[in-house]
Structure 1
Amino acid sequence: MSAQAVLPAVSGKLTPNAPLAPLVWFKSGGTAEWLFEPKDVADLRQFLRELDPSVPVMALGLGSNMIVRDGGVPGVVVRLGKPFAKVDKVADLTLACGGGASGILVSSTARDNGIAGVEFLRSIPGTVGGFVRMNGGAYGGEVKDILIDCDVVLRDGSLVTLQNADLGYTYRHSELPEGAIVVAARFKGRPGEPAAIQAEMDRISASREASQPLRSKTGGSTFKNPEGHKAWELVDKAGCRGLQMGGAQVSEKHTNFLINTGEATSADIEALGEEVRRRVKDSAGIALEWEIQRVGRP
């Protein structure tokens, strides 16, 4: 598809050859052939319905757990902005959340409404759409524990509601259809006191700040924890703490984080991750699986 291709008319914003590096945490990578920021669900549905079915579509949230390769992303990248970032209490202990709402907004709205059990979302840098797709989790909680159902726009533009059980959740994985975009979700917690909820959120924030390189250009947890092991320990034991490749480095503070020290390309970051995987396989006999999504063309 060329930048001159005829795309459906939209009410939102459609940008050709849009740089993605500023939109992702690693601050590296190429451009999107097209970046689409829909005005609302109807705009997104109509666009996908009319878009040539051969054109690939990818959703982008806060770009925290993602490497965008240097060759860029073909087709259309969909980014859900402000119109999809609302969170409201809709029933007892239940929040209706837009697919573009941040974990911080969801957890603070839960606190204000005396809803506990959602605090862990405070610590995950991302949006509801990404949490639902990846079964996002941290500090003892994960999305499968709180999700009731979600609204999803499929690649053909149809809107469907999927129940928690439909998503086939396992560790950091769902069976959400390829190209599907989560536009809303309902989460249910348990009764709690706002002060106690805030205290738990503060505890999680302090723990994260102490153990993770949050001030760096990073991509969050790089590798999934293998059954019975912690990824960071395996990486550390393989002698990879501080390991560098080009402008990419294994964090000294938390070895399951890769960081862009300044001028890293996405190729540097991905190659470093593969070198870490090789060393862990050699030292521990365990094949680490990427948790970070790697997208686009090398």
Structure 2
Amino acid sequence: MPPVRGKLTPDAPLAPLVWFKSGGKAQWLFEPKDVADLQDFLAGLAPDVPVMALGLGSNLIVRDGGVPGVVVRLGKNFSKVTRIDDQTLDCGGGASGILVSSTARDSGIAGLEFLRSIPGTVGGFVRMNGGAYGREVKDILIDCDVVIRSGELVTMPLSELGYTYRHSELTDGAIVVAARFRGEAGEPSAIQAEMDRISAAREASQPLRSKTGGSTFKNPDGAKAWELVDKAGCRGLTLGGAQVSEKHTNFLINTGAATSAEIEALGEEVRRRVKEQSGVELQWEIQRVGKQ
């Protein structure tokens, strides 16, 4: 491994870092001190070593065999959010959706309230075109700073990201280290009211206090994944320690000591039953990484 100024840990357990609380180890876990540290490390790393970014681990299954290569986790030094002007925020790749939306509220910037409901970091939801409650990252993103696998730092405008539903064309190993979001002028009290409405809606409909991974499947065109799962008779379905949520059928839950293999196998069984019942082939929204 190249020298680092941050923290580099071999055989690092990833289960404590992801929402499902399951899965194996990272061959290496790298927490860079700053952007330059990340650049130098990637530039010095053998090109054939795989690299993966890890945010809050909310939309992720880490398989039980662990993740080969290097997992990069952006810490506090990448979590700052600052106001550029009356409508724009500069956000570090490690900043949470809650911090971004709260800073927008305090700055009188409306239109970013939906980020309050995305349980991830800027780096993750920029890569995935994260969205909720009728809005997506593509609606607010100006551009983002990305360290690509070679170690080069590039700034990519919205037009170059190739956004579609929950997908971008960012290459493997590319790590989003910052992004600029633009909203519109608003009253902090009205912004807070909208954030409260979103929080209440999430609390009422989603199993937020369980070990889960967020929305499991993408919504097919003209349909809702949860309805298809429900119609296929999968509400409450279990496999080992994994369960389809009774509260929201597009959520899988680790009820205790489920393995990642059980969680993924349950998801595949749900996909099979939905295809059999409705003819629709559900696509995973949750990312599945590592070795079986």
Aligned-pair CA distance for 1:41: 0.1
Query: Does the residue aligned with 2:265 lie in a helix, a strand or coil?
Result: helix
- In the other structure, the counterpart of 1:147 is 141
Letter in 2 for 1:217: K
Alpha-carbon deviations, 1:24-61, whole Å to 9, x = none? 00000000000000000000000000000110000000
1:206 maps to 2:196: no
Query: Does the residue aligned with 1:223 lie in a helix, a strand or coil?
Result: coil
Query: Does the residue aligned with 1:271 lie in a helix, a strand or coil?
Result: helix
1:258 maps to 2:252: yes
Q: 5 Å matches for 1:59-70?
A: 59-70=53-64
Query: Does the residue aligned with 2:12 lie in a helix, a strand or coil?
Result: strand
CA distance in 2: counterparts of 1:130 and 1:283, whole angstroms: 33
Aligned-pair CA distance for 1:238: 0.1
- In the other structure, the counterpart of 2:14 is 20
Aligned mate of 1:269, from 263, 271, 276: 263
Letter in 1 for 2:266: L
Aligned-pair CA distance for 1:91: 2.0
Query: Does the residue aligned with 1:289 lie in a helix, a strand or coil?
Result: coil
Aligned-pair CA distance for 1:92: 2.7
Letter in 1 for 2:98: I
Letter in 2 for 1:254: H
- In the other structure, the counterpart of 1:249 is 243
CA distance in 1: counterparts of 2:118 and 2:20, whole angstroms: 16
1:174 maps to 2:130: no
Under a length normalisation based on structure 2, what TM-score does the superposition of the two structures give?
1.00
CA distance in 2: counterparts of 1:176 and 1:93, whole angstroms: 26
Query: What runs of 5+ residues in structure 1 fail to find an aligned partner?
Result: 1-6
Letter in 2 for 1:41: V
CA distance in 1: counterparts of 2:289 and 2:183, whole angstroms: 33
1:120 maps to 2:101: no
Aligned mate of 1:87, from 58, 81, 88: 81
- In the other structure, the counterpart of 1:31 is 25
- In the other structure, the counterpart of 2:102 is 108
1:162 maps to 2:153: no
Query: Does the residue aligned with 1:11 lie in a helix, a strand or coil?
Result: coil
Letter in 1 for 2:156: L
Aligned mate of 1:286, from 247, 257, 280: 280
CA distance in 2: counterparts of 1:175 and 1:53, whole angstroms: 20
Letter in 2 for 1:93: Q
CA distance in 2: counterparts of 1:104 and 1:92, whole angstroms: 19
CA distance in 2: counterparts of 1:113 and 1:152, whole angstroms: 26
- In the other structure, the counterpart of 1:237 is 231
Under a length normalisation based on structure 1, what TM-score does the superposition of the two structures give?
0.98
Alpha-carbon deviations, 1:91-125, whole Å to 9, x = none? 23000000000000000000000000000000010
Alpha-carbon deviations, 1:215-274, whole Å to 9, x = none? 000000000000000000000000000000000000000000000000100000000000
CA distance in 2: counterparts of 1:168 and 1:74, whole angstroms: 28
Letter in 2 for 1:247: G
Query: Does the residue aligned with 2:268 lie in a helix, a strand or coil?
Result: helix
Query: Does the residue aligned with 1:76 lie in a helix, a strand or coil?
Result: strand
Letter in 2 for 1:153: V
Query: What runs of 5+ residues in structure 2 fail to find an aligned partner?
Result: none
- In the other structure, the counterpart of 1:134 is 128
Segments of 4+ in structure 1 off by > 4 A? none
Alpha-carbon deviations, 1:184-227, whole Å to 9, x = none? 00000011100000000000000000000000000000000000
CA distance in 2: counterparts of 1:172 and 1:79, whole angstroms: 21
